Amino acid sequence: MVILITASSALADGWADSLQLQDAVRLPDLAALNRSSVPADSLVLLDLAGTVAGEQDILYACRHCRVLALSSLPQDEEGLRWLQWGAVAYAHAMSTPDLLLQVFDTVQAGGTWVGRSIMQQLCARFGRQLPAAAAPDWRTRLSEREQDVVAALREGRANKDIARLLEISERTVKAHLTSVFQKFGVEDRLQLLLKLTGH
């Protein structure tokens, strides 16, 4: 089930049109969601503008549903807070239809969506926890160049920065990342670093 939570009918209509969700349930706020008997693991698109909810309502919603927190004025601090509460995505409430569809598809497939800036912060945070001591087990599964790419990920670097640092093309960085993701059975850089740090 997909649930749209916003006080703006225009915004709800825009989301429904972009994602072809004419059958989506529309609710006015998180309290209404928490009072409803919605199926566990429902997808909830939540407009953060004007969302007045206690932390208990937020935590309950994030535990029982997959919450896409959508902000009209996205800020990294707000995004990190929602991710800590358990949201599976944080994006702009007025994203283009193509971007909103990417976010939605990623979450529907079991992934997490955050902006580039937040992703870099999270990678740097978890990357610092990655063992650097003499040849940990994860290194034996990677080529030397793949190890260099993972080392750059640990610093929270974007693909463009990694390419510049290693003096290779962005396409080559993406190829190395794809190979590393396949070797560890993960979908993205954050999942990789979480797996390597044992989270």
Backbone angles phi, psi at 121, to 5 degrees: -65, -45
CATH superfamily assigned to domain 2-113: Response regulator (3.40.50.2300)
**Residue 77 CB: number of other CB atoms within 10 A?**
8
Q: What is the mean pLDDT of residues 125-134?
A: 59
- In terms of CATH architecture, what is 120-196? Orthogonal Bundle (1.10)
Which distant-in-sequence residues (6+ apart) come within 8 Å of 132 by Cβ?
A: none
Q: How many CB atoms lie within 10 A of CB 143?
A: 12
Q: Do 2-113 and 120-196 fold alike per CATH? A: no
Domain boundaries, the chain: 2-113, 120-196
Which is higher by pLDDT, 167 or 112?
A: 167
Q: Which residue in this structure is represented by tokens 């006015």? A: 28
Please say if the pLDDT value at position 135 is more than 50. no
Report the C-alpha gap between 22 and 111 in whole angstroms.
23
Provide the 10 A C-beta neighbour count for residue 23. Answer: 8
